[in-house]
């Protein structure tokens, strides 16, 4: 199955465009996990989130730094294996924002696709084509290239005007669609905090899947983003992390997380129908 086919299959699984981000922080876990060893608590917490939100989403996106900063890479391996074994039709996106050249890029690709068995990994394009090419040697795997990110500081570089008259983020979108996406393996990261720019990216990259953070705590405009970028097949993965993970610190934490996931899924469905 090609990466494009994997995306379409994931969108059709639950008729969902929701991606649940796994960004665990030991000091923010619900009260039920207090007193447990931190790594065991994180593993149990993430598995329960995955198991319970799976009916409402199309993808899961673990964030590498939230694990590696506390030496929890083996926990991340087990969580990824849990997703692959129990929810194999969901897309597994490793949020690592990797970029380098030569053998280092090859090792980053092996980390994402062999160690963690991810379907896709997030990539920083600043080093150019030769830093991206090693990730594209896996015909069944994909990359999501940072394009117009959801943070205000993204303006520092992404909004710079080039000699062509286009913004830098537009140039990235064009390169992704016209140069890098030779075998249907490339997507783009575009923040819901900038829905007008999501629309521009979609114009440059008509067929590329988009990974869209920013609809939860960051306050991105969900309906406008869906209207700007959704396609008949799906077209995008709208990520929500903290709003779902930390919906409640009390005994009702799991029910609260599921309810936020369900409401977000329904809001996306409603936006697609408008």
Nearest partner of 129 among 95, 170, 64, 178, judged by Cα: 178
Which alpha helices (H) appear in the chain, and where do they start and end? 3-13, 38-53, 64-68, 73-86, 102-110, 129-132, 155-158, 168-175, 195-204, 222-229, 242-245, 253-273
Give the separation between CA 252 and CA 250, rounded to whole angstroms: 5
Bridge-based pairing state of the strands 120-123 and 18-22: unpaired
Which alpha helices (H) appear in 87-141, and where do they start and end? 102-110, 129-132
Q: For this structure, is 97 an active site residue?
A: yes
Catalytic-role residue among 8, 61, 97, 166? 97
What token pair was written down for 87? 């929810």
Phi-psi category of residue 107: left, alpha or beta, with phi > 0 → left and psi -120 to 50 → alpha: alpha
Paired with 77 in beta bridges are none
Catalytic residue positions, numbered: 97
């Amino acid at each position: 199955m090609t990466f494009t086919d994997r995306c379409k299959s994931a969108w059709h699984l639950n008729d969902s465009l929701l991606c649940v981000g796994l960004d665990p922080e030991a000091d923010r876990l619900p009260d039920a996990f207090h007193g447990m060893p931190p790594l065991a608590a994180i593993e149990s917490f993430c598995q329960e989130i995955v198991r319970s939100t799976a009916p409402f989403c199309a993808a899961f996106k673990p964030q590498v730094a939230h694990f590696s900063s506390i030496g929890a890479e083996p926990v991340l391996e087990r969580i990824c294996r849990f997703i692959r074994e129990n929810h194999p039709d969901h897309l597994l996106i490793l949020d690592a924002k990797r970029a380098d050249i030569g053998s280092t890029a090859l090792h980053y690709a092996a980390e994402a696709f062999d160690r963690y068995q991810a379907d896709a990994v997030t990539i920083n394009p600043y080093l150019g084509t030769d830093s991206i090419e090693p990730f594209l040697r896996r015909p069944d795997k994909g990359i999501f290239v940072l394009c117009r990110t959801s943070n205000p500081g993204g303006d520092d570089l992404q909004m710079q005007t080039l000699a062509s008259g286009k913004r830098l983020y537009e140039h990235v979108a064009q390169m992704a669609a016209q140069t890098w996406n030779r075998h249907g393996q490339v997507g783009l990261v575009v923040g819901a905090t900038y829905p007008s720019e999501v629309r521009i990216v979609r114009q440059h990259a008509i067929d590329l899947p988009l990974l869209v953070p920013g609809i939860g705590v960051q306050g991105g405009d969900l309906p406008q983003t869906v209207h700007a970028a959704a396609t008949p097949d799906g077209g995008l993965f709208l990520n929500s992390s903290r709003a779902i993970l930390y919906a409640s610190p009390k005994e009702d934490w799991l029910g609260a997380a599921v309810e936020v996931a369900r409401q977000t899924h329904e809001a996306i469905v409603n936006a697609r129908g408008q």
